[in-house]
Structure 1
């Protein structure tokens, strides 16, 4: 079988970003890098090179039966306070340097993808402080070969930029739709900043996916999908079990907004939905795809409610919660009873459609390193003792949000 991971993470080692940074920022970068203390143990361990060592990465992914992947950011770009996904949006005073670091990451990523032609779809990072800058970077990275689309930052309450439903972002949506680029919204973004105390960290883990979900209803009620029927939103690494319940809730509110009743729901929401021609669940079916990452056994039975053609599996390499080095076992655990045609769409076909992978090109690689349908159809009876991915948790839950 061809297996494409729709959720991988990569980035340069800190000092290796310097050549990709515009020279006028080198002196400031040198001072910043000298003073920066990396708080992430996994980015200081020897295994951190999985983020940037192309040969090692290909070797270990092939060991897991994976032949291609979509690449989201992971390491610390120049002038960022933390990793790309969880860093809060910059203030006006911080924007110039952070934007320079963002572009440096995109340049590095284009070169990294070029080291494995046809096997990596890099997702370009943007910021929302200046929409004209964002649009220009979308066009530049598209021309540079980053075919993974755009990483849409989340906008937390109180952020220094307008919420995602604001009309100020219309040029961004228009450009992505024009170029046929998916807009990716990854778990971890959009949440309030991390605070270094035990309770705050626990609350973050409970809430972080919900903050990432917010982009869905912002773009629906903001009319973005109505104006751009071909725009594709990819919701990645934020689970899949929440989707049926949330779509039911959104449809309920939509119907109440349109009711014309003398209720707070109709009064508050009526104007927003007056120009919408579809219900939220219908926009989801037309415009959205889910990077379900390491789908858990509790999520697999929901695939028909969500839509088999809207689900993409991912290994989350090289994160601790990812499935490496047990991706083969993870696929058996979650998909052993899924028909082959559905399974092929979830682990390869849908990602090929969304991100432009050539399945004929990947076929010889899969024949060499991939899993067989017969192998995946064998239920996993013994969980790997040292596995760290949630897919191997003995008990799983279905989330309500």
Structure 2
């Protein structure tokens, strides 16, 4: 966190120094054992301390060279990068900030996100063919947001992370049309991520949290609430007319789960075609909701389950992009015996053909993010296991817990991991 200071305006240095004192006492990343202790059993936390923290496997979160070592070790040729609730003036996850009674000031958000972007641009420049960084942009000031997006494109970042929105100024507000148009023109996808993107910027109620009967109940209660508000992004994009007005805008939904989309689109199509909804809705939406999704939307399927892989054709084989979620505990790279075993327990167990596996593991993402496929192939040939090994059926159940066995979720989302 302290390393962000040179990237912040000098007039905020004193305020940032004050924040660093608060961060030293209350700040936690979602990969820190102290945070994991609030959601995992003690034996899992001890194993994390020994096998991951003790082996310095988390240093790639801030050191790109260390991350490349970890990626090579795991067989990952390239990655799309998201902030891990550790941007300037950010104390931790939204739940963590609510528990600490902390709220970021608007001016700190407005300055902190560009500071993170400049740090990130330096990070990805170490291996631009392997890293796809997401620019963090605050939409409140539209002109400033557009200037930051233009800078991000010039700096080599490949997309924009969708922020949270105020209830009184929703993402379908005409105010934001210039931003969507710019993203179309620059061919920069907008990426939604659970916990970072939402139709509402309301904070979790500390009173509600204090009423929870046991600490283990906090995440099932409030993660479900988070999932609900993030899933509404698709509703806002479609029924708010954003995808109609901006037909070249590409949207990715990451870590929302994948299977919820099928039921959500069935319900939205029925609302459009079969319900008593006023027919003049067609003056605003000239296509069915599922047609907008098919034209413009994709899924960052992490952490994916065996059930989701089994349902890949109904979810959308050409839509799913499999994610490994470094440096989180539930990521395929760390939970259990590693990514190869995870792929065998999901793709291998579902007898996924090689051509379909290539779509899920690389081709969809290369197309959406504009990555250099030839450069990634060179890396993959050097570090990756053979496809036949990736698609081997598992010999034993190595994942009695975690996301491998997670059932298909509803449109309200499931609390995985």
Instruction: State the TM-score bracket (shorter-chain normalisation).
Output: 0.7 to 0.9
- Is 1:233 aligned to residue 251 of structure 2? yes
Show the counterpart of 1:61. Answer: 71
Residue 70 to residue 290, structure 1, CA distance change in 2 (3 Å): same
Contact 2:30 2:92 in 1 (8 A): no
Q: Deviations along 1:149-168, whole A, 9 cap, x unmatched?
A: 1100133xxx3651122211
Show the counterpart of 2:13. Answer: 26
SS at match of 2:248: coil
Show the counterpart of 1:221. Answer: 239
Residue 285 to residue 330, structure 1, CA distance change in 2 (3 Å): same
What are the within-5 Å matches in structure 2 for residues 1-16 of structure 1? Answer: 14-16=1-3
Separation in 2 of the partners of 1:271 and 1:85?
41
Separation in 2 of the partners of 1:136 and 1:271?
37
Show the counterpart of 1:187. Answer: 194
Residue 41 to residue 274, structure 1, CA distance change in 2 (3 Å): closer
Residue 374 to residue 201, structure 1, CA distance change in 2 (3 Å): closer
Segments of 5+ residues of structure 1 without an aligned counterpart are 1-13, 258-262
Moved more, 20-29 or 315-324: 20-29
- Is 1:150 aligned to residue 142 of structure 2? no
What are the within-5 Å matches in structure 2 for residues 370-385 of structure 1? Answer: 370-384=384-398
SS at match of 2:139: coil
SS at match of 1:298: helix
- Is 1:364 aligned to residue 378 of structure 2? yes
Deviation at residue 66 of structure 1 after TM alignment? 0.5
TM-score, normalization: structure 1? Answer: 0.85
Moved more, 170-179 or 185-194: 185-194
Show the counterpart of 1:3. Answer: none
Separation in 1 of the partners of 2:117 and 2:148?
9
Separation in 1 of the partners of 2:280 and 2:94?
36
TM-score, normalization: structure 2? Answer: 0.82
Deviation at residue 56 of structure 1 after TM alignment? 2.0
- Is 1:210 aligned to residue 228 of structure 2? yes
Separation in 1 of the partners of 2:289 and 2:95?
27
Contact 1:73 1:84 in 2 (8 A): no
| Count of matched residue pairs | 369
Separation in 2 of the partners of 1:77 and 1:40?
10
Q: Deviations along 1:362-398, whole A, 9 cap, x unmatched?
A: 222111110212102211132436x97412x4xx311
Deviation at residue 59 of structure 1 after TM alignment? 1.3
Separation in 2 of the partners of 1:232 and 1:117?
21
Deviation at residue 84 of structure 1 after TM alignment? 8.1
Which residue, out of 335, 348, 352, partners 2:347? 335
Contact 2:89 2:104 in 1 (8 A): no
Show the counterpart of 1:254. Answer: 272
Q: Deviations along 1:227-258, whole A, 9 cap, x unmatched?
A: 2111100000111111111110010111246x
SS at match of 2:3: helix
Residue 57 to residue 285, structure 1, CA distance change in 2 (3 Å): same
Separation in 1 of the partners of 2:244 and 2:222?
33
Show the counterpart of 1:50. Answer: 60
Deviation at residue 209 of structure 1 after TM alignment? 2.2
Separation in 2 of the partners of 1:76 and 1:33?
12
Contact 1:129 1:161 in 2 (8 A): no
Residue 41 to residue 210, structure 1, CA distance change in 2 (3 Å): closer
Residue 40 to residue 145, structure 1, CA distance change in 2 (3 Å): closer
Show the counterpart of 1:98. Answer: 109
Deviation at residue 42 of structure 1 after TM alignment? 2.8
Separation in 1 of the partners of 2:186 and 2:96?
27
Higher RCO (CA < 8 A, seq sep 6+): 1
Q: Deviations along 1:6-44, whole A, 9 cap, x unmatched?
A: xxxxxxxx0011111122221221122123221446347
Separation in 2 of the partners of 1:324 and 1:92?
33
Separation in 2 of the partners of 1:205 and 1:301?
25
